[in-house]
Structures are given as C-alpha cells and as structure tokens.
Chains A and B, each alone.
Chain A
Amino acid sequence: MSSWMMNLILGQIPVWIWPALSGGGVAVYLLSGILSHLPQFTPWHYVLRPLSIVAVLFGVFMYGGAGVTEILQAQIKEQEARIAVAEQKSNDANVQIQTKIVTQTKVIHDTKVVVQKELVADASKIDAECKVDPAAIKDLNDAAKNPLGASK
C-alpha cells in the first residue's frame, strides 16, 4: 500500500519538505517541553507534543520513501536506456535477416530460372527416348503430397 502512496505523494512534493518537517517537529517537541513549565501554556503542551512526534515520524518515513523512490527511478531510467539500445539492436538484426532472406531467395529463383531454361532446351533430347509410365507419375505425386494434409 505504501508504494502507490509514495508514488502519488512524492511525485508532487519536493524532497526537502520531509527533513524540514522532521526538523520542525523536533523544534516543536522542544518548544512543547518549554511550554510544559509555563502553567498558562500547559494545555498547548498536550496538543503540540503528540503532533510534533507525528510530524517527526511522518517526515522521517517520507524522507526514507523518497530516497527509495529516487533509487528506483534511477534504476528505471537505466533499464529503459538499455531496452532502447536492445530494441534498436533487435530492429537492426531483423533488417539484416530480411536482407539475407531476399538475397538468398533471389539466388534460388535465379538458379531455378536457369534450370528451367536448360530443361526447355533439353526437352526434345530428354523426351526422345523416354515415355513416362503413369505409375511413375502416381508414385511421384504420392511422394509430393503432404501426409499431414494441405498446408494452411
């Protein structure tokens, strides 16, 4: 619970307020000690003393919380900077991989075109003395079919 309270409050109020509040609390505590010796101010002593104690405790508590928040904020900024560098590296890696895919795919397709041209050129020679039996076609098609069904 103290976490959100810290974030909410500490984000709005300057840090120096908390030691000042504690210091003020100590001063009021001492003042209430003096007032306790003055009969006409004795009722004030009963009001100021607990208030000063609360002020000191709250000031110290919040100052501790502000310190922790400051450390956390620094860690967050450091982590965000590292993530920004990593995301840039990740994007660069993607570009590099994409370029490699395009280059390799082009080589494969160029080779395919060359082979297809060779096949066209050699077709009459290849077909001259060979007639493919339908059983061979069926066997080849059976081998080419995806045994897991059509891909999506």
Chain B
Amino acid sequence: MKKLITLFLIVSLAGCASTTKTNVSMSFPSATQDLLTSCPDLAVLDPNTQKLSQVLEVVSSNYSQYYDCKVKVDSWIEWYNTQKSISESVK
C-alpha cells in the first residue's frame, strides 16, 4: 500500500511539474530606411581649381554633408535607446 501511495504521489507531482518556459519574444525591430544608408565620402576639389569661391563651394557642401551624417548618427543613438527601453519593458 505504501508503494502504491508513493507511486501515486510521484506520478501526480510529475504531472504538475513543468520546466517549460513561455517562449514568446519580441521580434527585432527594424530601423527606418534613411538610417540604413551609409554616409557618402566628402567631395573633393578639381585639382585645376584656382578660384577661392569654388573651393568654398565644395567646403560648404562638405559641411552640410557632415551635418547630414550627424543627424543619422544622432538618430541611431535615439533609435537604439528607445528600442532598448521598449524591449526591456516586455522582458
């Protein structure tokens, strides 16, 4: 009878025991398309350029390009921090 009770308890508890974890996770978020294009190289001058105004034109264009890339990098940082915070909220 004792063996029967022991068997009964073991089988009953085995039914309740579970190591299964709920494996439902958030998919990796996608970034906006603008962030997925790399920054272009800086523009260079025509070696025969003699006018300072043409030099300034290329230099100012490169400055603009820097700020374009700065926007991208700053946006990536913001994207990462935001998505990390959202992802951690569902763990």
Pick from B18, B31, B58, B62: contact of A3, CB below 8 A: B18
Pick from A83, A97, A105: contact of B82, CB below 8 A: A97
Q: Mark A79-115, 1 if CB is under 8 A from B, else 0.
A: 1101101110110011001101110110011011001
Contact across chains for B72 and A68 when beta carbons are under 8 A apart: no
**A150: interface (CB < 8 Å):** yes
B64-91, CB < 8 A from A: 64, 67-68, 71-72, 75, 78-79, 82-83, 86-87, 89-90
Contact across chains for B56 and A68 when beta carbons are under 8 A apart: no
Contact across chains for B11 and A60 when beta carbons are under 8 A apart: yes
Number of interface residues of B (CB under 8 A): 61
Q: Which residue of A lies closest to B64 (CB)?
A: A112
**A12: interface (CB < 8 Å):** no
How far is B46's CA from A136's CA once the two chains are assembled, in angstroms?
12
Contact across chains for A93 and B62 when beta carbons are under 8 A apart: no
**A145: interface (CB < 8 Å):** yes
Pick from B11, B24, B53, B59: contact of A79, CB below 8 A: B24
Residues of B within 8 A of A58 (CB): 11
Pick from B16, B58, B59, B72: contact of A101, CB below 8 A: B72
A113-150, CB < 8 A from B: 115-116, 119-120, 122-123, 126-127, 130-132, 134, 136-138, 140-141, 144-146, 150
Given A127-B53, A134-B47 in contact, is the A2-B14 Cβ separation under 8 Å?
Answer: yes
Residues of B within 8 A of A (CB): 4, 7-8, 11-18, 20, 22, 24-27, 29-32, 34-35, 38-53, 55-62, 64, 67-68, 71-72, 75, 78-79, 82-83, 86-87, 89-90
Q: Which 4 A-B pairs have the closest CB atoms?
A: A64-B15, A61-B15, A64-B16, A123-B53
